[in-house]
Structure 1
Amino acid sequence: MINLEEQLKNPVWYSLKETHKKFAFEYNGVQFYNPDICTFGAFFDETKTEKASNEHIKTTDEFFYVSEHQTPLIDDTKISLAKKTDGCQMVLNKLTDVEITEDIVLLDESFIDEIYNLVWLVMPGYYRKRTFEMGNYYGIIKDGKLVSIAGQRMQTNLFIEVSAVVTHPDYTRKGLAKQLIVHNTKEILKTNKTPILHTNKGNLAIGLYEKLGYELTRDMNWWLYHTK
């Protein structure tokens, strides 16, 4: 079995080979999530991405390649680079214990629309309604509505990624996200897997993640492509 350190160098690839293999689309040795689930793709050999991208773009109007160091090759007559996001990966070292004062609930399918609307309000651009199927989502409900969430996204037999940590702008600065991250992390640890997360370089939330026991480990970059 591939060890954790190797899996974390290419988390999309190994997620699609293990826990999320039912969501995998593969072309010429390049893997993508079913675009109804997630917009991510991954590769080892960048010389294969041009043909694979031309095939995958027939199923969707946009997708990301996620890569630590490599730059994908693209047929620029058919596909254009919309943006490159300089990101980073963080891995839990030792969780800082935080008192949970909020009522945190495991969200079921009845919350799919609320989750989608909240993510797109706070972090528009990548989340799909069926992203919900990738892992568990936990939330805090106040005044009869879902106001803060923390979900799980990429995962293998060895790690689970904390993702979609968002709070409605009217309910920020109340420690909701912090409690949700800690709760989600504890739930992942119960499965004997390593909690990880990804974020943009320079994100102010990195300080919070570090205080909770996560450490920066490597770059992880997102290349967003659109059909021409």
Structure 2
Amino acid sequence: MAFAYSGFLNIQFIIMIDLDQQLKNPVWYALKETHKKFAIEFDGVQFYDPEICTFGAFFEEEKTAKASSEYSKKCDKFFFVSEDQTPLIDNNKVRLEKKIDGCQMVLNTLTDVLITEQIVLLDETHLDEIYDLIWMVMPGFYQKRTFNMGKYFGVFKDGKLVSIAGQRMQTNLFIEVSAVVTHPNYTRKGLSKQLISHVTKDILKENKTPILHTNKGNLAISIYEKLGYKLTRDMNWWLYNKK
């Protein structure tokens, strides 16, 4: 029995190592696993199909200049996502618009939240409403087909979609909570808090680790922490434009 128990601990340790490794480069591993059908590769640099998402990831910095030039033929703007590496670019083909100093948060222990709203699993019929709401509140980071990356949940008021939360990057070990937005007329009513809790529970049902990304200094970080998420590492977003 002791041997079997020791073996179980070793398996658990291996899983923990794999998860930590994936979280250091979440875009890369999502495109290698759950989202590999959306992957476009240029010499070992991974990108999402730009109709789905405009994120790229890498391990070898010296390959990003050529790869980003090729990818820029498919979309006008795109991101490289990296914990601590700096992409190289061909300044004749693309230019850096800005670097977003971000951070990654991982669920520690989920805090119980009283759900008072009717939370609806959204489908293809809601695509336009989701897109319009996200672009009104948080323009520039969402493609209409980003919906295909995971589940989206919403709250309706008077027949109108007013708050959503969804799932974005994911692998066999984690799923990212994303697109948490609420119409300005319906903020401070606890809608986002309930939706984040609901999406988090849905991820846990799949025996995966819930994570999320946000900007450093975002006021929402305190809300995420109250829900049981913990800051774990920097995760930077390099936004490039095609010249």
Q: TM-score, normalized by length of structure 1?
A: 0.99
The SS at the match of 2:188 is coil
Matched, 1:34 2:59: no
1:202 corresponds to 2:206: no
State which of 25, 33, 43 in structure 1 corresponds to 2:58: 43
Tell me how far apart the structure 1 counterparts of residues 193 and 35 of structure 2 sit (CA, whole Å): 27
Q: How many residues align?
A: 228
Q: Over residues 27-68 of structure 1, what are the superposed CA-to-partner deviations in whole Å (9 max), with x where a residue is unaligned? A: 010000000000100000000001101111111111100000
Return the offset for 1:95: 0.1
Correspondence for 1:171 among 179, 186, 205: 186
1:138-170 C-alpha deviation (Å, 9 max, x unpaired): 000001100000000000000000000000000
Q: Is 2:148 aligned against 1:133?
A: yes
What amino acid is aligned across from residue 129 of structure 1 in structure 2?
Answer: K
Please tell me the residue identity of whatever aligns with 1:179: Q
Q: CA RMSD in A?
A: 0.8
Q: Does 1:101 align with 2:116?
A: yes
TM-score by length of 2: 0.93
Matched, 1:118 2:133: yes
Match of 1:83 among 98, 108, 119: 98
Partner Cα distance (2:196, 2:76) in 1: 32
| Corresponding residue for residue 7 of structure 1 | 22
For residues 135-150 of structure 1, the aligned pairs below 5 Å read 135-150=150-165
How far apart are the structure 2 equivalents of 1:169 and 1:114? Answer: 15
> What displacement does 1:69 show?
0.2
C-alpha deviation, 1:25, in angstroms: 0.2
Partner residue, 1:66: 81
Q: Which amino acid aligns with 1:192?
A: N
Q: Which runs of 4+ in 1 moved over 4 A?
A: none
Choose the corresponding residue for 1:190, options 168, 184, 205: 205
Local SS of the residue matching 2:29:
helix
